[in-house]
């Protein structure tokens, strides 16, 4: 075997540790930035979110450009600056569309780059939420616009954004046939009914009917994989690939309705139209946390086929570095993200009273979206793919580091076995810490989107109202518009 000088191997070790250390610093910084944004949302400091981002204190990296625009959009939405919200949400959508064209298989695979420092690719539910908040922003601008021209513009923009949402869903469905993943159907079906009922043109009636009919179908076919909607969700997911071959009667064997799905079904079956839709946005999305996985290291026995007498071979040396005994399978651990979501199998009951204190309505809300549940299930699907990929990448890093540390040990062995082992151990320990930091789980997320989105359809006269939700009372004002959306943002 060709020998390489001691100085070269020491320099290789130094370069390897430095490279991984740089990446580990980047990974830690990315995680810290996310923690800052999440805490600001929790404290309802939306202007601080904007200030931090615009001053480039967070999300300065090009890899985080989607999050930069998306968080600005939702922060301005919370501050009721809907024009700026639309500007940044549209920027986020443009970025998402451009990233969507980059096939994941075409991403540059590097030995050293972890997911936490890679480009942030928005998932399908985040892309759906862009359209949802755009629609609400356009609606709020309709209410504040004085000119009929501006009102018409935002009315048409609402409908065109809904169409864009629908097109995105259709394309996503087509590309993911047979996969048990969220395809957004019920959310858009409910929002489609609201938008077209409020727009209230003669042609909207048939569109509403279509959304309700499709909504009943999608409630079973698309939402059956989620605990909030189906008590048999595990069975549904297991056999998802075959379900499209079943009749509706046989498909029913995979569905056990929750109260949540039953409420939605009743709404879709009801032919009644309402003059008011209260939309409640409650709580920001649950933060991702790290889950630890193990992966076999797969030491390459026989990498070095010769040794000086008394010197450890590579495998023996590696086992010592890993603090395990020969005969035990060496493993490495790493993080992957998860979200601890909570199913909503029965929605909250709310009470609505008028200005005189008389009860107008007492009913259960209709769940439009349980964001954390959708993101949690999406992550579980991603993790299945990532586990092998990250494990293999991390194993390669450790093998490279062990090889480099072993050469340090070999090159210093003539100075004494203890000194050689101590120096190699120090080099491996430093590199191991850097590797662990560089492979932190990617916990980035669009923290500003709301976790639970509910809807309450009701007929109301113009006036002041009070809604009681989770024991708290909130004021609502119904204008004299024939049809109206009343967003209740609990921020």
Q: How far is CA 219 from CA 68, 227, 255, 261, in A?
A: 33, 13, 10, 7
Residue 407 has a pLDDT of 87
Task: Look at the chain and count its residues.
Answer: 491
Residue 148 has a pLDDT of 93
**Share of residues in the chain with pLDDT > 90 (%):** 56
* Residue located via tokens 């021209």: 149
| pLDDT digits 0-9 by tens, 395-414 | 888 888 888 888 888 888 88
Q: How far is CA 202 from CA 10, 199, 206, 404, in A?
A: 78, 9, 8, 74
Indicate the pLDDT class of residue 103, thresholds 50, 70 and 90.
Answer: very low
As a whole number, mean pLDDT of residues 155-181 equals 87
| pLDDT digits 0-9 by tens, 222-258 | 899 999 999 999 999 888 878 877 887 888 899 999 9
The torsion defined by the Cα of 233, 239, 243 and 247, in degrees rounded to 10, comes to -80
As a whole number, mean pLDDT of residues 260-267 equals 97
Rounded Cα gap, residues 271 and 273, in angstroms = 7
What tokens were used for 252?
A: 């029913």
Residue 110 has a pLDDT of 42
Distance of CA 203 to the CA centre of its chain: 36
Indicate the pLDDT class of residue 328, thresholds 50, 70 and 90.
Answer: low
pTM: 0.86
User: Given a cut of 90, is residue 102 above it in pLDDT?
Assistant: no
Inter-helix orientation angle 204-221/259-269, to 10°: 150
User: Given a cut of 70, is residue 2 above it in pLDDT?
Assistant: no
Contact between 149 and 60 under an 8 Å Cβ cutoff? The reply is: no
Who wins on pLDDT, 326 or 349?
349
As a whole number, mean pLDDT of residues 42-52 equals 96
């Amino acid at each position: 075997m060709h020998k390489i000088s001691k100085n070269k191997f020491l320099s290789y070790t130094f370069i390897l540790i430095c490279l991984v250390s740089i990446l580990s610093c980047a990974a830690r910084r990315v995680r810290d930035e996310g923690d800052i944004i999440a805490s600001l949302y929790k404290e309802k400091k939306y202007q601080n979110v904007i200030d931090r981002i615009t001053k480039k204190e967070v999300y300065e990296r090009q890899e985080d450009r989607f999050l930069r625009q998306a968080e600005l959009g939702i922060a301005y939405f919370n501050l009721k600056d809907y024009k700026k919200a639309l500007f940044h949400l549209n920027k986020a959508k443009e970025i998402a569309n451009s990233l969507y064209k980059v096939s994941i298989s075409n991403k540059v695979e590097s030995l050293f780059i972890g997911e936490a420092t890679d480009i942030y690719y928005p998932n399908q539910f985040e892309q759906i939420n862009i359209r949802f908040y755009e629609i609400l922003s356009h609606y709020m601008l309709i209410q504040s616009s004085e000119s009929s021209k501006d009102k018409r513009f935002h009315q048409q923009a609402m409908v065109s954004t809904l169409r864009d949402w629908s097109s995105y869903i259709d394309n996503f469905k087509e590309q993911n046939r047979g996969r048990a993943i969220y395809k957004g159907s019920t959310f858009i079906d409910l929002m489609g009914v609201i938008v077209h009922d409020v727009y209230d043109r003669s042609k909207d009636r048939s569109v509403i009917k279509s959304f309700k009919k499709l909504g009943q179908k999608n409630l079973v076919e698309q939402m059956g994989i989620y605990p909030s909607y189906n008590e048999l969700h595990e069975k549904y997911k297991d056999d998802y690939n075959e379900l499209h071959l079943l009749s509706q009667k046989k498909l029913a064997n995979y569905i056990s309705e929750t109260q949540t799905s039953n409420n939605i079904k009743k709404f879709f079956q009801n032919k009644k139209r309402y003059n008011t839709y209260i939309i409640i946005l409650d709580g920001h999305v649950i933060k991702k946390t790290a889950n630890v996985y193990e992966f076999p290291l797969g030491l390459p026995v026989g990498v070095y086929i010769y040794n000086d007498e008394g010197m450890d071979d590579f495998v023996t040396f590696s086992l010592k570095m890993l603090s395990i005994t020969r005969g035990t399978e060496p493993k490495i651990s790493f993080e992957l993200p998860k979200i601890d979501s909570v199913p909503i199998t029965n929605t909250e009951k709310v009470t609505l009273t008028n200005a005189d204190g008389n009860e107008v309505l007492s009913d259960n809300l209709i769940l439009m979206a349980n964001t954390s549940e959708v993101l949690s299930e999406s992550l579980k699907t991603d993790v299945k793919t990532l586990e092998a990929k990250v494990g293999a990448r991390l194993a390669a890093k450790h093998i490279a580091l062990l090889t480099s540390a072993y050469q340090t040990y070999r090159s210093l062995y003539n100075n004494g076995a203890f000194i050689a082992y101590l120096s190699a151990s120090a080099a491996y320990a430093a590199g191991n810490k850097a590797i662990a930091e560089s492979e932190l789980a990617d916990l980035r997320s669009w923290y500003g989107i709301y976790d639970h989105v509910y809807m309450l359809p009701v007929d109301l006269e113009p006036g002041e109202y009070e809604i009681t939700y989770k024991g708290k009372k909130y004021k609502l004002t119904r204008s004299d518009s024939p049809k109206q959306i009343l967003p209740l943002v609990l921020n």
